Structure 1
């Protein structure tokens, strides 16, 4: 009994695998039905596939319904035998005398069905002839009916091959992989290993001729045959996309590393890493489906290609970071409109009289699901995606909109520019147009660029900075002292402000060497005619030191944190610094340590 149930379950699985034929109607099946109807001179011919509760018809002629309940099926009896079943007169057959398809007007009287057997021996249904009058079928007609059944199965298998085989390699494809692996289970001591083999396209993007496409297909076919031979007896190879092959294996956890080494050797030995790249993913808790595991291995193969290495293993943290990055980039445009991306302004003060001189526009992003996203995370992503100019234009427009409604016309606005802005935008024209649009004098603007060799590497940068200065806009070298920091090249750059990097400023109290560097830089900058600004001032002593060193302006958390526009407007009347009596410089140095000791320590 159990054997019969297993056979039936196997048969039903084979029929279920063909359910896509129900919606992907094939005219070829109907054509065979019409030919049979003409040959046997019957009004109705059906290609019937028999399931547990119904039979349905991929091809039919002379029958309106696309399916019938299993209780009305003649074919459910046909599939029980390997021979043609003939019912000369259904009204005289006890199995069908009460069948609704028989008792209805012009009901079925004659039926002949030939079993539809696949190459595994499973009987899926029948190719059947139906007439409304009794008749008989001669032996030669039985043979022809069996031939028609064979033609139907040939068509079914051809359709299956088109659906479940890759057209180039004829290997099982992605659909077959998903069917084969949906119920695969591993024991508690086993791990599941997924391997994706990414083949590299050999033709260039410009070479799209018919011959080149044929050559590429032949190359991939040869690679598929090579891989199939080398993996024969080891694992089933699937061709899951134009470029990707995959295989799945299970093994004891203790043998995983050995299995990986063996597979890598088998797969990569005939090829160079310019031809194939391998991605690996492993699951040892049974929580990943085969499809999910293949997705991870595919991601790893992509990383191997990107890094130009023979193989790579899936890294969960790296994948999460990439998916997070993709989420941010996909939602960038909406965030600029919705207000999730906004500006805050950090005040900058005069160290001579405490007046508010300017505010630096700082971009912020509060994501509805991910929370606060730091600029150090999303700005490099935007630059890498080639979209920074869109953000820069948005910042300029939004900041000048805010500045145009400012109460104090003496307050200036500082804007940060990316190196990429100088290649993606005519930044001077963009600033000029924005000033005209919002009625803001260019003299109220300052642009900040990070120091570096990139400024001198492209003559267009110097040319655009020169045009910006000609507009009356200040140009500041930001983060001076953190990178290139060479005074020798400053004369080539039309900048008039130097901003001392906060890495030097924040640590002034405890780092004697930084005090010497900061004092020297500020003195030389002043001698060369630059206005000087200290970033990252976080204590009173730090402010006093940079002021004593000759710095003219400062910003930092001790003076004011970045503020939203409304907060800044509310406080702008009372935001100027009040310089209270402070210790003498001698006392400051005494607190910090003997000057000679400072110099010696430096």
Structure 2
């Protein structure tokens, strides 16, 4: 059995006393559930009451409940405290992942429940939200859900007050019926109120109170007041004059009266009573007495006040919603229209004050907006279709450029709720991200993903219909020298100039792309043959050999081009690009600044690659690999927050090799798995000597991410090194993210950090950022370079702002100048690494760098300084 609240018996007694269990549906509870679904845009909302062994659903929207065992319900946990219960993903919570709501047809992942606290410590049930996707509520959303919970609690207290009143009325009725046999005068009181009665003898001034009236005034039964002045004296000073006047007028005019007023007991307790009186006359018509009843309505009055306050709170919530909301009843009359809806739809206030029909509002919108761009079915639905046939959502752009997401939800009782959400900023951001995902941030050219999509489509059409196709692979000559001598800012400027010259040398139907670094590719449009491809290559060689002015310094580069043609050299994208790449390497090996067409003799390059593969397979056995470490700085605290492990190969014949020389080959051959495990274990072993709290960063390639046993390998490496999971951060490159198979969530569950590496290199995806458990975004060096370029600074701020809006920390890579570091700080980056802050060094040389702190762009000081 699961835990129970401390005051379980008292809680159950209070619940059963309400008499609400197993009662028919009630409109006000159902309305709260429907409103909760609309406000929080969730598929399910319900109000549950937790009995001794079962969960009973008082109201629900979007979901139907059968008999539910208490121990198998979310709500049984929600009532254990006064605080809300928030479950962001039930499939990861051992308390709930096996319950029917999660594993069954409802597919609940997210749950939020706030206890219905009748009194402190007595939670009778919960107001619940549920969704089929993981999510969390903001502070404002949690507050709004609490406001709705207050509405439900007010209804329960109204139940309690009514039950109390009914119970008391029944008790008093029985007493009065028993007393009726002994005293006929009580019949009149029974007919009037059946609560408590009083009598004022007008001749003597004697006041008679029933026992109940005595109790109302805090006096002992049978101890009435001495006279009318004393009775009037019990009323609150603000009510006393009004009551005295009513009594005097009743006596004078021989008429009845009714009033609601406050009385103040001797102990200071203030009660609210309702009194009805009549003037009793003798046979001659003379007034002889005032006779009446009194009812203590304090609890009812208090419950009604709470309900009014809750209603006012609900009204305030509606008026301050970010969404526009319109509620239409079954007759088509607009019953609710908040301020946001009036503003978003430019509705005239005079029209809305007149309680218009929804058709009136619709006609106003049709006259105001241009629907010509909508497709015919949507245009017909907006202009003529019924509002309440089925739930539906569509988008509409208003004349002022605002894009509204319009969602309609029918109400079971008739009518519907329609919400209007301004999604203009989201649409702009989506368009920007979609462009970024398919275009290179530095040059604006299509990126590798878009180029490959276009090539695959072209080859598919060629296979179906015949024809030819040409691919050119370009690699800049002497570009590295420009980067090394003039810096990466100059290199970026050069790449932008190269992109412009490539565009100028091509026809409109040709598609250029930047694949990464100084690598470009071109898909020739139309029918492509050897002659036309060669002519294009010659134009490119001639254009790119011309000197480039880089801020007063002239740079001269060239380009090597490889050409492959389909169907002659292959009919699939991989083959065609591989052979164009082989031709490119031939052009480089034969003097550069030229082009070559693929030929079968170029297979010699493939043989050389095979020899390198053999060396790579033996390198681990021979102990030829080592790790260098580069510091990663926390810009806010000015300290080294992490060190990134970078692999080096000490080749027996070729000397030291960076990862660019062999990692791609390791992935292609499957050696990346054993090589990556060696890096992970070595880095964690070195991390034992790092200061407490400093992370070690290890890069994970796509081939590793595809490993079925990767999570177990990471867990074992942490255990072997005796390191806590928080010590480790894994950098996942953009290219690898596209291949992830769900293992990122498993890795995150270990407690290690995950970073989205090389963000902006070309495969960025908003969907990946939202869907995958990254805690950090590491910007591609091309984006970092934008920090020093005024014309690109806006793009950098947008990317950093996007990351922060998604709750990710943002670290910049490749920081090489003080101007870049200053720009990155201004853009909001939280971390940075690069040659300016520290070059990769062996671990033994790293220790002097760990005490450094960033005091200004480009400088460091020791922690003790």
Is this a same-fold pair by TM over 0.5?
no
| Structure with bigger RCO (C-alpha 8 Å, 6+ apart) | 1
TM-score computed with the length of structure 2 as normaliser: 0.29
TM-score computed with the length of structure 1 as normaliser: 0.42
The structure in which a higher percent of residues are strand is 2
